[in-house]
Each structure stands twice: as structure tokens, then as C-alpha cells.
Amino acid sequence: MKVENKKVLNICLIVVLVALVILLLLMFLFGRTLSKYSRNIASNSIADVAKPIFVVDGEQNIKIDGIQDTEYTFSVKNHKLQEISDVDMDYTIEIINSSKANLKFELLKNGTKINLNNNKTETLNLKGIQRHTDEYKLIVKYENDPAIIEDITGNVQIKVEAVQSEVI
């Protein structure tokens, strides 16, 4: 009888294992969804490129006479007529002295002195969206006393470079 019980037990074990394997295969094959779902949504949009507006206003030429300090005023604006810049702008101001004169420069922004490093400012920012104007005054000081007329020939340029501020 022991042998018969062992055979029955082995057969039962094999049947249970086969049933489990079949059940696992069925779950694996049919337990997943084999469908595909998609939906179309009708929409439209209009893309606009941001308008950067950056205007530098001031006189074209001024005279440096070598007798007294010369003041030059100019402004940097984010608007032109009714249009206002959509974006913030980063800019620098550089004073280029191509004359032979020994000149010293002082720059004021809205009445406050700005540090110049090799006649160039650090990066400044002009906000967008709302109308804004920064007023500048460049004071040119002639260092030689008395004035040497040959020194005064040449020119001084104000170079303003602007780029759109990076959005973080």
C-alpha cells in the first residue's frame, strides 16, 4: 500500500504543478490588456515672439574743451512710443576713449554713482512689461592742467550692449 500511496501522491503533486503552470501561463498571456487607447483633442494656439525694446537716447556729439568738466546725459529705456518691452534686458555700458587726452570718467545712474572697471560697468538690468527709463550722466574730467589742445582731438564713445535676460 505504501507504494500505491506514493504513486497517488506523486500524481497529485504533478497535477497540482501542471495546474499551477497552466494558471500562471494564462495569467501571463491574458492578464495584460492588449488594447490601445487614443484620443484626439482639437485645439489651436497662437505663438508670439517676445518683443525686446531697448532704446538709448542722447545727443550725438558733445565738445570736451579741457577747461572744465564736461557732462553728457543719456537715457536707457524699455519703451518706444506706445510699445513696451516684453522681456527683461541685461546690458553693459562701456566708455571708449580714442582721444590722446588723459580723461577720467564718472558715471551716474539716476543720480547714484556707478563703479567703472576699465571704463566698463558691471551687468545692469532693465525690467520689461512696465515702462521704465534709466537716466545716466557721464562726467568727463580732463586731467592735464593747463589744457593741451592737441590732446583734446579725437573722440569718446559710449558703447551700450544689451541681451535678453535669461529666464531661470
Strands 55-58 vs 70-77: parallel, antiparallel or unpaired: antiparallel
Dihedral, CA of residue 79, residue 163, residue 98 and residue 118, to nearest 10: 120
Residue tagged 551716474 (cell numbers):
108
| Cα 109 to Cα 165: distance, rounded to the nearest angstrom | 20
User: How do residues 65-83 score in pLDDT, each as one tens digit?
Assistant: 667 788 889 999 998 988 8
Domain boundaries, the chain: 1-31, 55-164
User: How do residues 115-131 score in pLDDT, each as one tens digit?
Assistant: 999 999 999 999 988 99
Mean pLDDT of 83-105: 87
| Cα 135 to Cα 141: distance, rounded to the nearest angstrom | 20
Q: Which CATH number fits domain 55-164: 2.60.40, 2.60.120, 2.120.10, 2.40.30?
A: 2.60.40
